[in-house]
Structure 1
Amino acid sequence: MPLTLRTAARLLSDHGLLREVIHDDRWMMQAPDDPAADLPFSAITYDTRTVGGGSLLVCKGRFRPEYLDGLDGRGLAAYVADTDYSAVVDAPGLIVDDPRKALSLLSAEFYGRPQDELTVIGITGTKGKTTTAYLTQAILNAHSGGRCALFSSVDNCLDGHTYEESDLTTPESLDAFRMMRQAADNGMRYLVMEVSSQAYKVHRVHGLTFDIGAFLNISPDHISPIEHPTFEDYLHCKRQLITNSKTLVVNADCDHMQLLRQDAAMADVPVAQYAFLDGTDGNGTDGTAGTDSRSGARDLFVAARPDPHNRMGFLLTADGAELGPFELAMPGTFNIANAAAAVAMALKAGVPATDPAIHAIERVSVPGRMERITAGGNLVVYVDFAHNYLSCKALVDEALRAYGDRNPRITLVAGSTGGKAIDRREGIVKGADGRAEAFYFTLDDPNFEDPTAIAEQMRSYVTDPHAETHVIVPREDAIRAAIEDARRHADRFNVVLLAGKGHERRNIINGKPVPYEGDAPIARRLLGL
């Protein structure tokens, strides 16, 4: 059904958002009795610069009345806002409680509810969303002949094989539904998307039900005045994925597991679990299915274990049945856990456990995620997006897992963002403190803050009295100094960890993106590769 003023008013009313419709000094609870109310909108937008004939404009965020100047003359058909703007524009107004929620609902309707034509999988967690999304897409692409779309913080893919750089972890709702429409029209059967805490905080996925939702892990992150005021708020936003999913896949070792299962039980959402079992967890998990405390039904349980015959490999089982040995292109036990999550989601999406498509995870690599650069000798460099406590700890864990028998000298190069996620600064240091022997604190999206002050603050969190600490603000210079320092310690095996930027090729400075060569290209150049 086309989106018109009448159908838009009805949709918003059905969802309890509509306060009133205002047009020609008339206030009412439905669209006016006017033929124009049944004309389909030609476009929906939240950007006044794109308004044309027949457009529906959603006024969200820090909207100002002067933004509406001249829009009647450009053919504005109607606007949606939480404020009456009839004094400055003649077009009808749909006055709502929350324009962001309205934008999501109206966008889905305008694009013909493309989510109904796709199996939509949403992934949340503090760490691992991107890697898990790529792993899941790989399985579903292999199973379906390349018909799985992807929305990630690195790339978006709408046709199963073409990847374009993305701007947000989770797109704005209008952009998300537009891209879903393109994906469905391209013949995609599946969509795998990352779902950030901010996506729920600002209602980018309002009204969207995921066929499968995955909750990977949780630890404090994004705590700041402009993001989440407290960890409780951060976790609360993450938890919204559970009640907006038809099936939940969750890490059996996730913190606050009791709360997550209670959320699922209250919403009658079945729960599947996965875990990496290294024999040291001590939680009694044996890799077989659990039971749903409400119904007694078996839950799918996907377990990953170290492969005794391959130090870099692992074994997977689903409800105790062997799926075979695997070895990932991306190192790290954390990525093995991500692989188990991806396999659990694929199985819940209908991929048979015997399908060779599951082995597609072995060929996946994600730019800037556990990217290992070797130049021979006693030096290896890792480039990783690690930017909080959990991810930085996992990065150091992997360095020690891979090279611990060589008594490695670990060097961490890291900075942290300005103006938000203030808690990351201590968390990054905490993830390496006592295990890294040298720290180089540097620039990483300082925005309007002084990068030197951020670096010095991070330096103050180092408690190891034996660790060397340096502040070198230009990031390329910090990487060069770390690599040169490692070469001076050639009597030891050296691991240099470049954390935080991952694949990114820009730094946000004074509100603007400034081009940056990238950690991996710089490291390769300095290593002569």
Structure 2
Amino acid sequence: MKLSELCSEFKYECLSGSMDVDVRDVIYDSRKITEGTVFVCMVGAVTDGHKYIPDAVKKGASAIVVERADEAQQIPDQITVIQVESARRALAYMSAALFGHPDRKLVTIGITGTKGKTTTTYMIKSVLEMAGKKVGLIGTIGAMIGDEHIPSKNTTPESYELHRMFAAMVEAGCEYVVMEVSSQGLKLDRTAGILFDYGVFTNLSPDHIGPAEHESFEEYLYCKSLLFRQCRVGIVNADDPHWEEILKGHTCQVRTFSAEGNDVKDQVVDLFASDIGYINEGGRLGMHFTVSGCMDCKVKVHIPGRFSVYNAMVTMLVCNLVGIPDRAVLDGLEKVQVKGRVEILPVSKDYSMIIDYAHNEVSTRSVLTTLLEYHPKRLICVYGGGGNRSKLRRYDMGEVTGELADLCVLTCDNPRDEEIRDINADIKVGLAKSNGKYIEIDDRKEAIAYCMTHAKPGDMIVLLGKGHEDYQEIKGVKYHFDEREAVAEILDEIKSGERTVEA
């Protein structure tokens, strides 16, 4: 592809060479430069791509993209040099062109907010798939293209990886992509040039504020708001106190949803939830509610917690706008489960078993307070702590579980290079602050088995920390461990008489 084609949709100045030069690939990691590539000198918090210009020259790059004109002086005349205001934005536009603008061949659904992004992307994906659509997903736990899972370092990948994923989705026959759009992704122009068909705002609370992320809450909010300047339709939670600030400067049509009041500035919201109630049926937990507006019906979702109502409303609005029949949406919502996010395992009609990825104080408090709304006879937590991580997180986890749970079973998570007993000793410091009751069983499967064989009617057993993970990392080795498989094995062992259930 000609360099001029790659650069056709953004402003640049050609400092030397020809724009007709052929380019085989766009590179921003100097280690991957080969002959015939264009090297984009990105400036980051840790390193400055301009210092790798000698490497790019030595390895035969056809062109180099710089932000500072004085850097061109060290580049031989036969190499094309273009100057741009932002190398990150240039990378995004060039990557889109390189892969043939795959985002324009998909229905793009981007979700931003502090909480609920992962769960909501999976809910939308699941409901669309149940309606017969092929859907790609990009987010916290990587990307999914059909049944293929692709790990990712960032919630919103770098623009080159993002467009490569889009292209793979198009190749695989996907019609839709649902993705988490993080504030960092927006701030760092990873989604620059994409016009999302639908942009969603879930909620906002202070997070990701610090030297390496956002300078202030105001900057965090501003970065979130950028999504609504690059989408056709914006779908906004009108119950969040920041919704009007999120829409400042927006260029999209606006749709709203609410569970607290059915008018926004004297205009009726597009979807309003009322008659909200809790489902606790034979070990299955969830929510039921009634909606009015663009859909008028009763809704059931088997994911516990009031936040599930909001996530479900986003799913309903998106699916309604893309033309999915109401019945298919409702059927999909009733069946949907999100792996590792308050995931209910159907193990018994007498007690509930839940898997959740919560592994810090904030997320643990959220999931436990949600489960307490169902008034369990006992709330039992099985968890450990990550090795080679902050001890403060362990103290906080111990304190919150000691405060809210009836029993904590301390066990193995990903101890990495630390000893399980040392990690649990730190957790016990927090447990002592809240006088939490606990026992210790180092083997995670045995810890789960203890809870299952000692469960009483009405109990809720929540397995914290692993969520979607299917491994344990111990002394530098990753061992396969999936809690769903462990629970199924324990059930088989109980049925065969290998394990005895305590009366």
Q: What is the identity, as a one-letter code, of the residue corresponding to 1:260?
A: W
CA distance in 2, matches of 1:122, 1:319: 23
- Contact 2:351-2:456 at 8 Å conserved across structures: no
Moved more, 174-183 or 312-321: 312-321
Q: Which position in structure 2 is the counterpart of 1:342?
A: 315
Secondary structure, counterpart of 2:443 in structure 1: helix
CA distance in 1, matches of 2:56, 2:195: 34
Q: Please list, as runs of the form range in 1=range in 2, the aligned pairs for 1:77-476 lying within 5 A after superposition.
A: 77-82=62-67, 84=71, 87=74, 91-143=79-131, 145-154=132-141, 156-158=143-145, 161-167=146-152, 168-223=154-209, 225-228=211-214, 231-254=217-240, 257=241, 259-275=242-258, 277=259, 283=260, 285=261, 288=262, 290-291=263-264, 293=265, 298-303=268-273, 305-306=275-276, 312=286, 314-319=288-293, 321-328=295-302, 330-351=303-324, 354=326, 356-373=328-345, 375-376=347-348, 380-389=352-361, 391-402=363-374, 404=375, 406-415=376-385, 432=401, 434-439=403-408, 459-462=428-431, 465-468=434-437
CA distance in 2, matches of 1:268, 1:65: 35
Secondary structure, counterpart of 1:132 in structure 2: helix
- Contact 2:6-2:98 at 8 Å conserved across structures: no
Q: What is the identity, as a one-letter code, of the residue corresponding to 1:434?
A: E
CA distance in 2, matches of 1:73, 1:417: 42
Query: How many positions carry a matched residue from both structures?
Result: 482
Q: Which position in structure 1 is the counterpart of 2:37?
A: 55
- Contact 2:352-2:459 at 8 Å conserved across structures: yes
With normalisation by structure 1, the TM-score equals: 0.75
- Contact 2:230-2:251 at 8 Å conserved across structures: no
With normalisation by structure 2, the TM-score equals: 0.78
Q: What is the identity, as a one-letter code, of the residue corresponding to 1:123?
A: I
CA distance in 2, matches of 1:227, 1:448: 28
CA distance in 2, matches of 1:128, 1:273: 16
CA distance in 1, matches of 2:467, 2:88: 31
User: What stretches of structure 2 of length at least 5 have no aligned partner?
Assistant: 494-503
- Contact 1:57-1:76 at 8 Å conserved across structures: yes
- Contact 2:199-2:234 at 8 Å conserved across structures: yes
Q: Which position in structure 1 is the counterpart of 2:497?
A: none
* Deviation readout 1:33-58 (Å, 9 max, x if unpaired): x6x52134222233344434421222
Residues 189 and 442 of structure 1, relative CA distance in 2, 3 Å threshold? same
Aligned-pair distance for 1:300? 0.9
Aligned-pair distance for 1:220? 4.0
- Contact 2:107-2:175 at 8 Å conserved across structures: yes
CA distance in 2, matches of 1:241, 1:418: 36
CA distance in 1, matches of 2:274, 2:328: 17
Secondary structure, counterpart of 1:41 in structure 2: coil
- Contact 2:39-2:63 at 8 Å conserved across structures: yes
Match for residue 20 of structure 2 among 33, 38, 49: 38
CA distance in 2, matches of 1:423, 1:249: 37
Secondary structure, counterpart of 2:199 in structure 1: strand
CA distance in 2, matches of 1:141, 1:436: 37
CA distance in 1, matches of 2:22, 2:109: 31
Superposition CA RMSD, Å: 4.1
Q: Which position in structure 2 is the counterpart of 1:498?
A: 463
Q: What is the identity, as a one-letter code, of the residue corresponding to 1:163?
A: E
* Deviation readout 1:277-313 (Å, 9 max, x if unpaired): 5xxxxx5x2xx4x24x4xx664412426446998655
- Contact 1:408-1:492 at 8 Å conserved across structures: no
CA distance in 1, matches of 2:75, 2:440: 53
Aligned-pair distance for 1:164? 1.8
Q: Which position in structure 2 is the counterpart of 1:477?
A: 443
Residues 436 and 514 of structure 1, relative CA distance in 2, 3 Å threshold? same
- Contact 1:126-1:221 at 8 Å conserved across structures: yes
Aligned-pair distance for 1:208? 2.5
Moved more, 331-340 or 123-132: 331-340
Residues 218 and 453 of structure 1, relative CA distance in 2, 3 Å threshold? farther
Q: Which position in structure 2 is the counterpart of 1:21?
A: none
Percent of pairs with identical residues? 26
CA distance in 1, matches of 2:37, 2:488: 49
* Deviation readout 1:300-354 (Å, 9 max, x if unpaired): 12426446998655234241752344343x44443343122211222233445x4
Q: What is the identity, as a one-letter code, of the residue corresponding to 1:438?
A: L
Q: What is the identity, as a one-letter code, of the residue corresponding to 2:460?
A: V
- Contact 1:242-1:248 at 8 Å conserved across structures: yes
Residues 479 and 466 of structure 1, relative CA distance in 2, 3 Å threshold? farther
